[in-house]
């Protein structure tokens, strides 16, 4: 009889816990945005927050907006695939996103319901930038959700912590602890997203190959810099990095990455070509000095 009572108690205790776990999933785009709200970061990290707001990471669902067009194309492709389960944008689920675009562009979609997945898909097809701008790659995605790569060894990121290079307390009501993670200053941190192709997915996709290029070309050639050292400039010699985008839209970075030599010679014309406009022979030599192939993403 005691055994049956114990089972009954466990049963009724488990049901609320399961219900609580289910409630933690965001049911709307706004709820997901609130779950990953980083507005409090601005109080202490105003400069970096301002830099992030201007970065492509803050617009991860829209991009330049090349990303937006690419994802719209992906959704249209899914609609045309016989076995995708997608006939309309509303049919898109979390599974569709996590196996393709949002593995990198919005990994926190894992914390949302299929309803949110379809809301975002419909926003894409309606060119609803306002909705798409509500969620992105922000402080919590990098400093919590994606901050620990060796989770079998080190465990999953703690819900009340932000990860960086130091241990201690953190002056935030929700994220009260600072945790040290070796991932944060290693290139693998960036490689979690800036790497492809997604050849193991149900819809094989050729995505970016930056991290592979870095591992297979730059390092074997004698390179010794991390992604962060080149793309996230140090601030006053501290381990904190600037979040100003140092990439293709930074003239200084482009100048360092590419050496361009142009040789122009007057063209040669025969009598038969005398009526044609003046011609020239142009030889352009571009040397890639970056830690990876260019272009890529």
pLDDT one-digit tens code per residue, 179-211: 999 999 999 999 999 997 788 889 888 888 899
Rg of the chain taking only CA atoms, in angstroms: 24
Q: What is the C-alpha to C-alpha distance for residues 190 and 223, in angstroms, rounded to an integer?
A: 17
- Each of the 297 residues of the chain gets a pLDDT tens digit; together they read 554 454 544 444 454 445 444 458 999 999 999 999 999 999 999 989 998 999 999 999 999 889 999 999 999 999 999 999 999 999 999 999 999 999 999 999 999 999 999 999 999 999 999 999 999 999 999 999 999 999 999 999 999 999 999 999 999 999 999 999 999 999 999 999 999 778 888 988 888 889 999 999 999 999 999 999 888 877 666 555 666 667 777 888 889 899 999 999 877 666 666 666 677 889 999 999 999 998 887
Q: List, in sequence order, every residue forming a beta bridge with 180; answer none if it has no partner.
A: 164
Our count of domains for the chain comes to 1
What are the backbone dihedrals phi and psi of residue 57, each rounded to the nearest 5 degrees, phi first?
-60, -35
pTM for the full model? 0.84
Q: List, in sequence order, every residue forming a beta bridge with 260; answer none if it has no partner.
A: 286
> Strand, coil or helix: what is 166?
coil
Domain that holds residue 149: 28-208
203 inside domain:
yes
Q: What is the C-alpha to C-alpha distance for residues 51 and 54, in angstroms, rounded to an integer?
A: 5
CA nearest to 194, candidates 256, 123, 104, 114: 104
3-state helix, strand, coil in the chain (%, to 5): 45, 10, 40
CA nearest to 30, candidates 91, 120, 101: 120
166 inside domain:
yes
CA distances to 94, 188, 259 from 100, in Å:
10, 20, 35
pLDDT one-digit tens code per residue, 135-171: 999 999 999 999 999 999 999 999 999 999 999 999 9
Count of H-run helices and E-run strands, the chain: 14, 5
Classify residue 141 by its DSSP letter.
Answer: I
CA distances to 107, 108, 160, 201, 220 from 98, in Å:
7, 9, 24, 10, 32
220 inside domain:
no
3 inside domain:
no
Classify residue 142 by its DSSP letter.
Answer: I
Block residue for tokens 């190959």:
209
Q: What angle do CA 47, 137, 200 make, to 5 degrees?
A: 150
197 inside domain:
yes
């Amino acid at each position: 009889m005691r055994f049956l009572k114990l089972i009954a108690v466990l049963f009724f205790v488990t049901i609320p816990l399961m219900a609580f776990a289910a409630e933690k999933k965001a049911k709307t785009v706004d709820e997901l945005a609130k779950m990953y709200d980083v507005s409090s970061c601005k109080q202490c990290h105003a400069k970096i927050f301002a830099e992030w707001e201007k970065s492509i990471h803050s617009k991860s669902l829209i991009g330049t907006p090349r990303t937006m067009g690419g994802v719209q194309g992906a959704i249209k492709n899914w609609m045309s695939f016989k076995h995708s389960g997608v006939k309309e944008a509303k049919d898109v689920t979390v599974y569709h996103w996590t196996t393709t675009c949002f593995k990198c562009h919005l990994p926190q979609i894992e914390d949302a319901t299929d309803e949110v997945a379809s809301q975002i898909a419909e926003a894409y097809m309606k060119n609803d930038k306002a909705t798409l701008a509500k969620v992105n790659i922000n402080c919590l995605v990098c400093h919590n959700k994606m901050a620990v790569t060796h989770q079998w060894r080190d465990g999953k990121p703690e819900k009340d912590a932000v990860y960086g290079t130091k241990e201690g307390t953190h002056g935030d009501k929700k994220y009260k602890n600072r945790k040290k993670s070796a991932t944060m200053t290693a290139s693998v941190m960036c490689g979690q997203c800036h790497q492809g192709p997604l050849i193991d997915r149900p819809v094989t996709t050729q995505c970016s190959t930056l991290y592979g290029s870095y591992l297979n070309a730059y390092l074997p050639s004698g390179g010794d810099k991390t992604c962060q050292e080149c793309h996230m400039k140090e601030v006053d010699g501290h381990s904190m990095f600037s979040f100003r985008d140092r990439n293709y839209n930074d003239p200084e970075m482009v100048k360092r990455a590419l050496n361009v030599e142009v040789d122009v010679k007057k063209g040669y014309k025969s009598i038969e070509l005398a009526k044609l406009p003046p011609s020239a022979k142009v030889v352009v030599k571009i040397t890639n000095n970056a830690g990876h192939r260019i272009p890529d993403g």
